[in-house]
Structure 1
């Protein structure tokens, strides 16, 4: 078809109408105020080229402008046109992509009157596709301009009294709760074209507040002319010196901007117009360029992307990130004589509903230690450097050594005591505290008793997390120390020798508790495959039906009892165990059933046990670690080094230290997860009672409140209205940013542009677990997508945590967006010898399920080969 009205455009019509027209059609269907109109499709554009024997890629634009429009296209436009003033805009098939907005690259014609003028404007839009500016822009963004086609939008002209742009995320500060409005009198074209200075307003739509105003007071404006087209006119005297929009209008416009962003789930750049007291949406495109306040410092979601990924619950963020993480950091730095943070220092906070920590401040404290390299630090936590060289460094000099001596002595002492404290805490919790808590039924408590237990769980959460975070911080420092030693050793190896990989040394740890569920679930799957009736019940049909199918036979019932015992044993696990809002395995065993079925299918395929057998892998990795250590010690025994036994002893001590702390990091992760499990039980019971009392709509809404909001309600300092307002504000923010992928670093070093693979064939990240593996990609963002994972595929995921690790056993290789060398996924991947690259920014977007890739876990590269 040559013409489609906006209400005829469907979701599959992007290549027929272009992104701009498709988005306007989507917004119109969603009930937003979009001026009525139609789209001249790319079919009409192709017919125009064919009828005139033209090749748009090589034909001179002047020749295109003189070519005749086919009669059938003219007739289609005539039938759709209603002889009213129209705005005519281009809608190219590459326009308004998230990576490139193409804003200002193509043509717009306003107040077009009459069919002949309309046809001329349409032809001009087609010709505009081939202007050098637009072609160069497409090329810069990796698009082939010869493959782009042009549709044209024709809409009723809005006789704007005022117009402008609303950025639903403040592009100058990156503050998610701020919108920036730009407004001029009359039509908005001079503003869009950069020829007019607008009023600027900053509005908070979540708290309904106008924060700032900057008035421009221009003398001229653009208006529609009676005979068609536009003309400049003086701004009426009664408008001079006044804001273009008053407070009520700004709040109304901000709400309109919110509705547009809420529809798409990520920030928008919206052109609007005001006529007869109504606001209209003229265009909407993804906001692709913004910056952060330079005073913000540097924040990162590294590490937190795996423990609290995506939109974490406000309760978990307020406890784990904002309270406990900061306390652990401040305490450790004080214990290590590294200094005191100023009062009120913020160590962790959410941006866009995601958890971030103050990495800039942490680096300043860490740089007290000689040998500190920012690049090494960034690699450890999973930050992609944006600077040249090693960044911030602290050299080994007499002055830095003298200044750091108290720190180094305190650090060595803390290395000795911290893991012992962790062991004591874990022993006490497992054998005394956890059984006592497990014996308490929250539903049987009185309201007063439940309130007391909620506070006790809050304290327990803090105690467990404090130990876990402290162990993690020392593990990071131990790794940095060891990597420096290993780097010096590798630099002195003969050129013909391969460098000794960090991952080969920090593997084969043995008895890593986060790896145990994989071993046990694999054993259950093998057991199932030994009994035909049990195997059939597990392998055939949907995973949710496994319990029902197993109940049909005695052998099945006996096997299901063992699966239930497994679920009880690991009841505290979930896909996101640090988020109290996420159900645990004993509440929702779907993940266990999906993985059990996948294991059984892999084992039973052709009657052959695949190489991913976890027990064999653990044994192999222990041997690999021993071989790597032997090789390193041999290198330290060559030549003049054999006269310096201290080097070998120091190497062994550092290696043992980092291995111990990596092991204890995983151990404390499990202890913390068990504590979080019980916290969830008591908070959920509080949610049930508040829902019964009408304070909440659902029990799970308790997790949408911050701890201080819950505490205020428990103490009678707030009531139902405050609770409802807090929940609704959070839900609005989550809706607005649900599809937004904020940068891993915010502030200094932030990468705002969407990453693109080099030549579309290679991605790079942090080498994590050595080896190479090739196979088809399986992008997994959720449990539903995990169902499709097959043995031998390359698992590509946004993050991993202990709850995900059973999936690793099916994968030939791992590509993870988040994380560093110490991430939980990295540790378990090394234990199983699975080639892994972490810190691959944008991997789940840049790689597609079905592509064939090679994962090089030694070099930290992912190459697309098919």
Structure 2
């Protein structure tokens, strides 16, 4: 018969399936010589015996499971083991009885507080009853919901029960060995209150708070401590009203706790959430430790000193993780881009030195820019355009003495800029944009043709040749597509010049940027709308999206719809949601999103067609140009024609801003198609289970895999990591290498209107629709889209939106540009918009003031 009771000294970290997360940690802490009160665990075998026959499906699953576990008889052998083990701790010794689930205190999900704890339990029968109630707590509604939100199978979870000698605590509480709010590592945060720690853990008291870093106490904050939980003679606890003045810990005790926390963290190699108690004799006890699962993981350090990282994912509107192959592709792209400034790395697959990965997301190392004079001048200006909320965060970093200016000379910057301008042929391209606009526009088309030619791979290419081709085109992508940007920058530069010459603020000239030509994203959206007006509506009004996909893939849609959708996907099928990750399927592979959008268009009563809105935008742009030119004439006759010229060029070129990304995504889609062929080859070799698995390898690993082997276990591990990161709700914009999230140091208040960054002028009041994922989303005409961020995969929703509110972005971010072109009011960079606004609320968006007001 399997063992049902184990002493802490018999437990190690590898026994998770037998003893659960809490007991495994206590066993490991005991073995490490840390001051853990003695105890034992009733293993999952005992739970299995009692839970036999328990059904794990059905609407009333939680209620049925709880009732079964509370009413089923405890096997005699199990009861005898409990009584004997309890006696081994002493005669009627007070104990804490705690749940220890196999899905608990894990590196990615702590499950803190999800199962029950019973304190000051006295007597063998009382312990048996507390064990039974612990078993039942595995099936509380909150525990079931938590498992579901973390993707953990109910049927796979078992419960062990920890029985541990109680500490008669004079003072107790919790300690984090990293600051859970700011993320700063090695900064201990201690909450303490008189009596048992349950008062602090449960949030029943305002505790004293201390912050400690490197032995220095940074903060001492006295809470009111109006409540204490104390043990009762004979068992149980009571809540006692208190009014203890001052602090409940001495500085010596605070430093002792921080030192203990450092020992625990050093043992596990990761920040820990601990519970502790100090008894009446002044002895410090550690009663629990588990990983802090909410901290964002740090990039691997490659250089000494404090580093500053900026999120590529946030600025690109892709909050989720990238696949390993997606990360690998960007490393190669970054290496090619670095070559323009003369810094091409020897190892292309390793990427440029400024790009790193953490949390399966991409980060730029901005440390050199933050610590240099040119960087401090340019960074805020650049961030204002793309990610305005990061500007104040970065500017505060300039005041951090650890990030003082270390590079005061501008010569290295100027040399790099000169190399970049020379390799990009910047002066020639700007001159062409100013003097020969037709040739400048034709050059962008030629760039696309050159790209298409480079992306072709012969059908006879071997897997190794396909990998050679992928590395070659990825390394050459940035230098090719960035050649469009001098023309775009010329357009926006002339826009600023027109503002200066006319005296009209840029914000008042925003209508000039409406309905711009040559923007592939708006052209795509308008074509999708026109497509909805041409095709047979019947199936789209009658069938579900999965049924539409099935009909399309089998060629069973009506002839016109079948043909027109195929033509649309031939032109735009390389796009998709989170399209910067080549590991993500394109619309051509999974057309459900596009078919769903068409169904939404065909089911709604349309107002003004987007094509007419676009034409109206062109008229408003012309009227605005005339107005600005007239204002300029008042300041000097020569100014009017210059302003007309400048704004004419702006309208020709500003829409090209989306073209480099359009070409980048086309490159990624082509490489993806080729890598799927390589994946099929690896399936044939027995290396992978499916061709899609190749995206959970990087380029180097894929090449090595051509020699054979078995990478299925690695792929399974990578997929699990990817899925876990997909559930992460918070990704910092800026992250320091010590773990600090600078934005968390000064969170905005939650009262009154919500302020963001003005993005597209106008005021609209309407019903909010919070959308976290555009796939399958439905937006009624006039509803205000509230979302974390956007990439081109979101923009079909813009055609019916009355306004836009985004958590991320700046005035030149993708969502802001498209909103302006469609003439819908927009505010971006709105902190926590998707949490502070709920679907169905009426809100007012003032795109000129950058405010969002929730109607009460």
Please tell me the TM-score bracket, short chain as reference.
0.5 to 0.7
* Aligned-pair CA distance for 1:812: 0.9
Deviations 1:76-129 (A, max 9, x none): xxxxxx98625599xxxxxxxxxxx9x9xxxx99757699xx9xxxxxxxxxxx
1:631 aligns with 2:627: yes
Partner of 2:784: 794
Partner of 1:510: 517
* Aligned-pair CA distance for 1:484: 5.8
Partner of 1:775: 766
* Aligned-pair CA distance for 1:422: 8.9
Q: Is the 8 A contact 1:687 1:696 kept in 2?
A: yes
Give distance in 2, aligned partners of 1:509 and 1:746.
Answer: 36
Give distance in 2, aligned partners of 1:389 and 1:280.
Answer: 42
Give distance in 2, aligned partners of 1:472 and 1:668.
Answer: 8
Q: Is the 8 A contact 1:325 1:348 kept in 2?
A: yes
Q: Is the 8 A contact 2:324 2:697 kept in 1?
A: yes
1:735 aligns with 2:740: no
Partner of 2:334: 325
Q: Is the 8 A contact 1:458 1:679 kept in 2?
A: no
Q: Is the 8 A contact 1:507 1:830 kept in 2?
A: yes
Partner of 1:215: none
1:812 aligns with 2:802: yes
* Aligned-pair CA distance for 1:526: 1.8
Give distance in 2, aligned partners of 1:469 and 1:450.
Answer: 29
* Aligned-pair CA distance for 1:587: 0.9
| SS across alignment from 2:744 | coil
Partner of 1:747: 736
* Aligned-pair CA distance for 1:456: 0.7
* Aligned-pair CA distance for 1:346: 2.5
Q: Is the 8 A contact 1:696 1:702 kept in 2?
A: yes
Q: Is the 8 A contact 1:301 1:745 kept in 2?
A: yes
Q: Is the 8 A contact 1:779 1:797 kept in 2?
A: yes
- CA separation of 1:849 and 1:161: change in aligned 2, threshold 3 A: same
Give distance in 2, aligned partners of 1:723 and 1:175.
Answer: 36
How many aligned residue pairs are there?
A: 647
Of 309, 326, 344, the residue aligned with 1:316 is 326
- CA separation of 1:196 and 1:806: change in aligned 2, threshold 3 A: closer
Of 635, 639, 642, the residue aligned with 2:636 is 642
Deviations 1:347-387 (A, max 9, x none): 22223222222345457789389xx5654332102132326
1:850 aligns with 2:850: no
Alignment of 1:390-401 (within 5 A): none
Partner of 1:501: 508
RMSD in angstroms over aligned alpha carbons? 5.9
TM-score by length of 1: 0.61
Deviations 1:704-758 (A, max 9, x none): 22333334445x5xx7478855873674476267324121122399444399775
- CA separation of 1:510 and 1:196: change in aligned 2, threshold 3 A: closer
Partner of 1:415: 430
Partner of 1:865: 855
* Aligned-pair CA distance for 1:628: 2.5
Of 678, 681, 698, the residue aligned with 1:686 is 678
* Aligned-pair CA distance for 1:523: 1.5
Partner of 1:597: 599
Q: Is the 8 A contact 1:464 1:675 kept in 2?
A: yes
- CA separation of 1:630 and 1:156: change in aligned 2, threshold 3 A: farther
Give distance in 2, aligned partners of 1:802 and 1:415.
Answer: 27
Deviations 1:375-400 (A, max 9, x none): 4332102132326999989xxxxx99
1:353 aligns with 2:360: yes
1:831 aligns with 2:840: no
Partner of 2:753: 762
Q: Is the 8 A contact 1:298 1:745 kept in 2?
A: yes
Q: Is the 8 A contact 1:771 1:857 kept in 2?
A: yes
Of 668, 673, 682, the residue aligned with 2:665 is 673
Give distance in 2, aligned partners of 1:797 and 1:173.
Answer: 24
Deviations 1:803-842 (A, max 9, x none): 2211111111111222333333332222221222222232
| SS across alignment from 2:537 | helix
* Aligned-pair CA distance for 1:690: 2.0
Q: Is the 8 A contact 1:819 1:838 kept in 2?
A: yes
Alignment of 1:452-463 (within 5 A): 452-463=465-476
* Aligned-pair CA distance for 1:760: 4.4
Give distance in 2, aligned partners of 1:29 and 1:594.
Answer: 47
| SS across alignment from 1:827 | helix
Give distance in 1, aligned partners of 2:680 and 2:846.
Answer: 49
| SS across alignment from 1:269 | strand
Q: Is the 8 A contact 1:307 1:577 kept in 2?
A: no
| SS across alignment from 2:845 | strand
Partner of 1:300: 310
Q: Is the 8 A contact 1:818 1:839 kept in 2?
A: yes
Alignment of 1:445-456 (within 5 A): 445=460, 449-456=462-469
Of 269, 272, 276, the residue aligned with 2:273 is 269
- CA separation of 1:363 and 1:564: change in aligned 2, threshold 3 A: same
Partner of 2:610: 614
* Aligned-pair CA distance for 1:517: 2.2
Q: Is the 8 A contact 1:757 1:763 kept in 2?
A: no
Of 381, 386, 392, the residue aligned with 2:386 is 381
Give distance in 2, aligned partners of 1:584 and 1:404.
Answer: 40
Unaligned stretches of 5+ in structure 2?
A: 1-15, 24-39, 43-85, 87-91, 99-109, 128-160, 202-207, 216-230, 238-248, 250-258, 278-285, 345-349, 400-408
Of 510, 519, 528, the residue aligned with 2:526 is 519
Deviations 1:321-367 (A, max 9, x none): x34235425625899xxxxxxx9972222232222223454577893
Unaligned stretches of 5+ in structure 1?
A: 1-26, 38-81, 90-100, 119-153, 201-223, 233-241, 258-266, 274-278, 336-342, 394-398, 529-533
Partner of 1:18: none
Partner of 1:434: 452
1:822 aligns with 2:812: yes
- CA separation of 1:705 and 1:773: change in aligned 2, threshold 3 A: same
Of 546, 568, 571, the residue aligned with 1:569 is 571
Q: Is the 8 A contact 1:303 1:382 kept in 2?
A: no
Give distance in 2, aligned partners of 1:697 and 1:755.
Answer: 48
Alignment of 1:129-208 (within 5 A): 157-158=164-165
Of 583, 586, 590, the residue aligned with 2:585 is 583
- CA separation of 1:466 and 1:412: change in aligned 2, threshold 3 A: closer
Q: Is the 8 A contact 2:440 2:487 kept in 1?
A: no
* Aligned-pair CA distance for 1:591: 0.8
Partner of 1:699: 691
- CA separation of 1:112 and 1:359: change in aligned 2, threshold 3 A: same
- CA separation of 1:581 and 1:733: change in aligned 2, threshold 3 A: closer
* Aligned-pair CA distance for 1:541: 3.5
- CA separation of 1:245 and 1:543: change in aligned 2, threshold 3 A: closer
- CA separation of 1:432 and 1:571: change in aligned 2, threshold 3 A: same
Q: Is the 8 A contact 1:808 1:829 kept in 2?
A: yes
Deviations 1:456-493 (A, max 9, x none): 122223323333356458856974x5676577568x56
- CA separation of 1:188 and 1:594: change in aligned 2, threshold 3 A: same
- CA separation of 1:30 and 1:826: change in aligned 2, threshold 3 A: farther
Partner of 1:204: none
Deviations 1:34-73 (A, max 9, x none): 7999xxxxxxxxxxxxxxxxxxxxxxxxxxxxxxxxxxxx
